């Protein structure tokens, strides 16, 4: 559509013109461009040879290859889960190529293909500048291999290990072996098993005893080669008294074929350690008719292994055609704390089934869940959460708040909280509401000369505030913008 190219209209101007609304409705995905770089890919298909080949390409040790094969063999025996409120076209796992990497592995940023850097520019992530300015170390994953890692030295001085998973397997084999799969076992679920068999790369973070990571760590993911599944594996270990804040953000170029994405993230917090994990997810959601878009099946789990440890998940989910994701906390250590703050926005034909699990095992463990769902267009947005209090979790406490906002008459907003309590000393509370943007609120804004779209985005911003304030500052700004862009054309 021609209108889509000149979308730079005054944001403060109220939407009056039908053509303008039409244009906004049909606006193309802004980050939708394909960078033309040569890729090495494995042929489509999945079998033991592919798994072995993948492991060989990455130069992995024998134990890793065996680990992958065990996961693959288990995956073969598992049925695909169908309990989520998602309408998914059958996925042909044999048509997916399980590995793709930029051909030459650059050793430093200077060697990085300028086209690749250009891609980051377009996304607003000028790797070097941003890293310097914001003090953020970026481990960028372009398709499946890490191509540039910055601030390695500064982190090394603090004793922090922050590198790609491939490198970690080669250089910190013992550490990886000790923790990999200890939070999400290979047979945990269908998609975790698939990931364990074919994961391409991801990040490894290790914060040693007593160290507060000197900067926020960040990884940008980006899918690029056509027909390539992206299977990241992230492992973060915080030893006693350590602290780390980790940011994950992603955006993918536009294409019309569904892309399979099955990530696994494992967090381990030992005594008094704290891990804060923030995500802004903006994979390609498909067009207004539900064509294309990423299938996003993610297993994220944190293990509060030590007493007084804390794991906090914050997520802003605006992308993907299908989102299947339940970042969880296993509160094993006494007095450990789990938190989950989430904003999930669906538009057009997007479907999201997302939430969290808080498993209370230790005494006096606490968890808090704040989930905000926004549905627009013909989308479906479900919160699914489990709060489980085991027998020994004396004095455990949970508070859950789930709110849904509906924009339009064709969308769905659903809440499925599960509460299982086996300890009489525990207190579990759940509250949920569903409503639309109230006419009073809109009228108030309109009568003060604020355009309808701006009014809606202000109200939505207010609705999400509880979650946004948990995000690191630069992410909060991005998240707010993302929501505005994602909601364009939802009203009017």
Binding site for another protein (CB under 8 A): 83, 389, 391, 404, 406-436
Q: Is 167 left (phi over 0), alpha (psi -120 to 50) or beta?
A: alpha
Closer of 250 and 387 to another protein (Cβ): 387
- Residue 390 C-beta: closest distance to another protein, Å: 10
CB 470 within 8 A of CB 368: no
Closer of 33 and 418 to another protein (Cβ): 418
Closer of 106 and 408 to another protein (Cβ): 408
CB 116 within 8 A of CB 145: no
Rounded to whole angstroms, how far apart are CA atoms 490 and 492?
A: 7
- Residue 250 C-beta: closest distance to another protein, Å: 29
- Residue 79 C-beta: closest distance to another protein, Å: 10
- Residue 312 C-beta: closest distance to another protein, Å: 24
Closer of 135 and 425 to another protein (Cβ): 425
**Nearest-CA neighbor of 461 among 481, 440, 436, 439?**
481
* DSSP per position, 55-81: HHHTT--HHHHHHHHHHHHHHHHPPPP
CB 52 within 8 A of CB 69: yes
Closer of 308 and 403 to another protein (Cβ): 403
Residues 6+ apart with CB under 8 A from 130: 136, 138
CB atoms within 10 A of CB 392: 13
CB atoms within 10 A of CB 105: 11
- Residue 13 C-beta: closest distance to another protein, Å: 26
Closer of 374 and 482 to another protein (Cβ): 374
- Residue 334 C-beta: closest distance to another protein, Å: 17
Cα angle for residues 300, 39, 41 (degrees, 5° grid): 65
Closer of 84 and 223 to another protein (Cβ): 84
Sort strands 351-354 and 322-325 into parallel, antiparallel or unpaired: parallel
- Residue 336 C-beta: closest distance to another protein, Å: 20
Closer of 44 and 408 to another protein (Cβ): 408
- Residue 432 C-beta: closest distance to another protein, Å: 5
Closer of 165 and 426 to another protein (Cβ): 426
CB atoms within 10 A of CB 276: 20
- Find how far residue 371's CA is from the centre of its chain: 15
Closer of 139 and 403 to another protein (Cβ): 403
What sign for the dihedral angle of Cα 148, 153, 158, 159? positive
- Residue 383 C-beta: closest distance to another protein, Å: 9
**Nearest-CA neighbor of 235 among 160, 310, 182?**
182
- Residue 462 C-beta: closest distance to another protein, Å: 18
Rounded to whole angstroms, how far apart are CA atoms 431 and 258?
A: 35
- The continuous run of DSSP H or E covering 117 comes out as helix 114-122
Q: What six digits make up the tokens of 395?
A: 């004095």
């Amino acid at each position: 559509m021609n209108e889509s190219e000149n979308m730079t209209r005054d944001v403060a101007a109220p939407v009056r013109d039908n053509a303008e609304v039409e244009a906004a409705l049909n606006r193309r995905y802004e980050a939708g461009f394909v960078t033309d770089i040569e890729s090495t890919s494995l042929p489509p298909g999945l079998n033991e040879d592919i798994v072995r080949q993948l492991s060989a390409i990455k130069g992995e040790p024998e134990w890793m290859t065996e680990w992958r094969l065990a996961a693959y063999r288990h995956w073969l025996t598992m049925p695909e889960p169908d309990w989520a409120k998602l309408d998914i076209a059958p996925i042909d796992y044999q048509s997916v190529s399980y590995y793709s990497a930029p051909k030459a592995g650059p050793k430093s940023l200077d060697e990085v293909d300028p086209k690749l850097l250009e891609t980051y520019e377009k996304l607003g992530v000028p790797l070097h500048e941003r890293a310097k300015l914001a003090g953020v170390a970026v481990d960028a994953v372009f398709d499946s291999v890490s191509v540039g890692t910055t601030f390695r030295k500064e982190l090394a001085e603090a004793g922090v290990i922050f590198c790609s998973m491939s490198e970690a397997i080669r250089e910190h084999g013992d550490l990886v072996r000790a923790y990999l799969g200890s939070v999400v076992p290979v047979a945990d679920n269908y998609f975790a098993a698939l990931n364990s068999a074919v994961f391409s790369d991801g990040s490894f973070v290790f914060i040693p005893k007593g160290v507060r990571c000197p900067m926020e760590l960040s990884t940008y993911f980006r899918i690029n080669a056509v027909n390539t599944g992206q299977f990241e594996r992230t492992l973060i270990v915080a030893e006693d008294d350590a602290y780390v804040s980790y940011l994950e953000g992603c955006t993918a170029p536009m294409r019309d074929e569904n892309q399979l994405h099955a990530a696994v993230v494992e967090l381990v917090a030992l005594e008094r350690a704290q891990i804060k994990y923030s995500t802004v997810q903006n994979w390609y959601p498909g067009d207004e008719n539900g064509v294309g878009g990423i299938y996003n099946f993610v297993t994220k789990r944190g293990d509060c292994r030590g007493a007084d440890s804390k794991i906090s998940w914050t997520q802003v989910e605006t992308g993907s055609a299908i989102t299947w994701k339940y970042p969880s906390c296993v509160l094993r250590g006494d007095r450990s704390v789990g938190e989950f703050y989430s904003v999930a926005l669906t538009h057009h034909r997007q479907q999201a089934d997302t939430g969290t699990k808080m498993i209370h095992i230790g005494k006096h463990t606490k968890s808090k869940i704040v989930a905000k769902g926004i549905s627009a267009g013909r989308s479906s947005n479900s919160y699914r959460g489990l709060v489980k209090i085991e027998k020994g979790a004396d004095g455990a406490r949970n508070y859950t708040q789930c709110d849904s906002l509906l924009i339009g008459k064709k969308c769905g907003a659903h809440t499925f909280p599960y509460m299982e309590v086996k300890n009489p000393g525990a207190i579990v509370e759940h509250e949920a509401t569903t409503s639309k943007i109230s006419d009073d609120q809109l009228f108030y804004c309109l009568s003060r000369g604020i355009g309808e779209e701006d009014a809606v985005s202000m109200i939505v911003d207010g609705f999400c505030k509880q979650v946004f304030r948990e995000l690191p500052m630069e992410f909060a700004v991005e998240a707010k913008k993302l929501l505005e862009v994602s909601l364009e054309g939802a009203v009017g």
